[in-house]
Amino acid sequence: QTGSGKTYTMEGGAGPEPATPLRGMIPRAVDQVFQVLQTMASQGWEHTVSCQIVQIYNEQVRDLLNGSAEYHAATYRGGPTDRHEIKHDLAGQTIVTGVTEAVVQNTADVYCALATASANRAKGATQCNHWSSRSHSIFSLKVRNVHQSTGQTLLGVLNMIDLAGSERLHSSGSSGDTLRETQCINRSLSCLGDVIHAIANKHPHVPFRNSKLTHLLKDSLAGDAKVLMVVNISPLEEHSAESICSLRFAQTVGSCELGLARRLVP
């Protein structure tokens, strides 16, 4: 649901610095990850941490950490669509080809990456939301731990997704490029709903490949991960119809059983 505070929930309202009480879920989660890694370091573990941040804009995967202004300008001119591919390897990891994977040493490095991604993300105004995210944003934090004595290796990935909000076309007043953005957003959210419905009803075929969003999230939704979804709704009466749809979707999500998460050991 557009304008309901999804990006605020994920990123926060006044920067991600540790002293900021309005930090969102992403900076809070990153803080906790590095706190745990610090504890593990005292127990003989060495870690390597990297992050990548992409957006899905008009069914194109785009690298939000790419430093080229021309690259981002091409995105909004309908530039090349085949630069990044989504692949799933035999180890159960999702790979997006050609995107920046930044090695981060601490939370400050991650905050810097988040600021870069936020500046590059597609935003725009509609009649429903004057500051609307026009893409889905996927933040991935990858951790590799190796024990110095035993050589045991552990891999972990934290994916945090800020979905663009659904909008009714007649309410959004969209036209031209904004209309196409709205149609792509609504279509991909519909595909996510189809995937959730198939999982909830234990269908033998789950249509992950029907959109870039669900294809990218396949490993998270296919039963090998812990998944939490936060559904935001508007408190305004004029948005009650959309809020009811969001709550029904949340009810369906709550009925899904993904199975037990597995520890990933190469």
Please check whether residue 174 lies inside any domain of the structure.
Answer: yes
Strand 153-162 and strand 136-147: the pairing is antiparallel
Q: What is the mean pLDDT of residues 168-186?
A: 72
Please check whether residue 1 lies inside any domain of the structure.
Answer: no
Please check whether residue 94 lies inside any domain of the structure.
Answer: yes
Structural domain that includes position 124: 6-255
Judged against a pLDDT cut of 70, whether residue 70 lies above it is answered with yes
Please check whether residue 247 lies inside any domain of the structure.
Answer: yes
Query: Residue 51: pLDDT band by 50, 70, 90 thresholds?
Result: very high
Q: How many domains does the structure of the chain reveal?
A: 1
Most confident listed range (21-30, 174-183, 221-230): 21-30
pLDDT in tens, 131-162: 567 889 999 999 999 999 999 999 899 999 99
CB contact at 8 A, 100 and 83? no
Please check whether residue 218 lies inside any domain of the structure.
Answer: yes
- Alpha helices by DSSP H, listed for 129-211, are 169-172, 176-200
**pTM listed for this prediction:** 0.86
Please check whether residue 265 lies inside any domain of the structure.
Answer: no
pLDDT value for 137: 93
Please check whether residue 48 lies inside any domain of the structure.
Answer: yes
Q: What is the CATH number of the domain that holds 12?
A: 3.40.850.10
Please check whether residue 264 lies inside any domain of the structure.
Answer: no
Query: Residue 52: pLDDT band by 50, 70, 90 thresholds?
Result: very high
